[in-house]
Amino acid sequence: MGELSGQRALVTGASGGIGAEIARALARRGASLLLSARRGPELERLAAELRDAHGVAAEVVVADLSAPGAALALWERATAGGPVDILINNAGFGHFRPFGDIALERETEMLRLNILALVELSHAFVLAHRDRPTDRPAYLMNVASMAAWQPVPNFATYAASKVFVRNFSEALHYEQQGKAVRVHCLCPGGTHTEFHATAGAGNYGKLANASMLSAAVVAEKGVRAMLRGKKTLVTGLLNKLSCFFTGLSPRAVTSRASMFVMGKPRRDALPASNSPKSLP
Ligand SMILES: NC(=O)c1ccc[n+]([C@@H]2O[C@H](COP(=O)([O-])OP(=O)(O)OC[C@H]3O[C@@H](n4cnc5c(N)ncnc54)[C@H](OP(=O)(O)O)[C@@H]3O)[C@@H](O)[C@H]2O)c1
């Protein structure tokens, strides 16, 4: 029996990267999984792996969480089979480009996913556990980023969306103290996933490359911190130090430093549909 046996966990963005590794970390502890993202075959492969490796139940719900109403529809599907005891709001993406070089529809899609879907699912989760006894904690993890520590030129809307996630999650953490819901905000630094290819990023400076971690390490640390009731975790020593000194520095300095560390956007890397020129 693992420490999460009998608990059901919903993980968004579970088709790859950090979300898939969080699902593995929860399954190792005995939790049943509801895996969601847009790519069904990847989710089905992961569900089969988790059933075989850990003997846990694993279901798949394909959903595009940037579509209006999709987050609440996912919640209804997920809770139809029983309560969701653990919610991991992980799905997210960003575009690494000057703001004016990105199609507005891609930006609004990102904001609906990174912010609105996360708020809708968090709200449903908090309501569902309002009367839950405090000796049976329910866990909510929201995945932000160390981009939440300062404005990030060329990642303007993405970094700002993660500021929202961090502040929202930390406020909920304090609101829920003494109640059953434990709220954790995971703030990864650079992590080896498809995120960078999707963002059109990757020409990072030496410091950013040196601080990159594997998704498995980030996920395991995040799940441990969530279960310990920690408010926020920045993964990796270099990233922790960077956030600490960022907090002490003037914002003009940290914004310029982030431009230097992040390097230049790769103009060749994003599909043409992400550019405003593709719009009518
Ligand atoms: N990698 C990093 O360096 C890094 C650093 C800091 C924070 N983060 C954060 O970590 C989280 C996970 O990212 P990752 O690094 O694991 O990237 P990833 O490998 O690209 O994974 C992103 C996940 O989100 C899902 N997703 C994207 N758009 C979606 C949509 N419209 N509806 C539903 N699901 C959607 C993707 O699945 P489908 O494509 O199948 O839908 C995928 O499972 C994100 O919130 C990201 O902002 C990442």
Closest residue by Cα to atom 25, ligand 1, is 13
| Residue 2 placed within a domain | no
Tens of pLDDT, residues 207-263: 888 899 999 999 999 999 999 999 999 999 999 999 999 999 999 999 998 888 888
| Residue 249 placed within a domain | yes
CA 93 to ligand 1 centroid distance, Å? 5
The per-residue pLDDT of the chain, averaged, comes to 94
Q: Which one is catalytic: 139, 158, 174, 204?
A: 158
Question: What confidence category does residue 126 fall into, taking pLDDT thresholds of 50, 70 and 90?
Answer: very high
| Residue 1 placed within a domain | no
Residue among 15, 77, 122, 152 whose CB has most ligand 1 atoms within 8 A, to mutate: 15
d(CA 102, CA 278): 10
Q: Which of 40-44, 220-224, 252-256, 271-275 has the lowest mean pLDDT?
A: 271-275
Ligand 1 atom nearest the C-alpha of 93 is 47
Count of domains in the chain? 1
Average pLDDT (80-109) is: 96
pTM exceeds 0.85, yes or no:
yes
Residue among 10, 11, 18 whose CB has most ligand 1 atoms within 8 A, to mutate: 18
| Residue 3 placed within a domain | no
Question: DSSP string spanning the chain?
Answer: --TTTT-EEEEESTTSHHHHHHHHHHHHTT-EEEEEES-HHHHHHHHHHHHHHH---EEEEE--TTSTTHHHHHHHHHHHTS---EEEE-------S-GGGS-HHHHHHHHIIIIIIHHHHHHHHHHHTTT--TTS-EEEEEE--GGGGS--TTSHHHHHHHHHHHHHHHHHHHHTTTSSEEEEEEE--SEESTHHHHHT-----HHHHHT-EEHHHHHHHHHHHHHTT-SEEE-SHHHHHHHHHHHHS-HHHHHHHHHHHH----TTSS-GGGSGGG--
| Contacts with 236 (C-beta within 8 Å, 6 or more apart), sequence order | 189, 211, 213
Residue among 10, 22, 38 whose CB has most ligand 1 atoms within 8 A, to mutate: 38
Residues at CB less than 6 angstroms from ligand 1 = 13-19, 37-39, 63-66, 90-93, 113, 143, 145, 188, 190-191, 193-195, 198, 215
CATH number at residue 47: 3.40.50.720
| Residue 96 placed within a domain | yes
Which pLDDT score, from 0 to 100, does residue 259 have? 87
| Residue 208 placed within a domain | yes
Tens of pLDDT, residues 146-167: 999 999 999 999 999 999 999 9
Query: Is 174 part of the annotated catalytic residue set?
Result: no
Top pLDDT among 202 and 189 is at 189
CA 267 to ligand 1 centroid distance, Å? 21
Domain with 259 in it: 8-278
Which pLDDT score, from 0 to 100, does residue 206 have? 83
CA 133 to ligand 1 centroid distance, Å? 33
d(CA 203, CA 205): 7
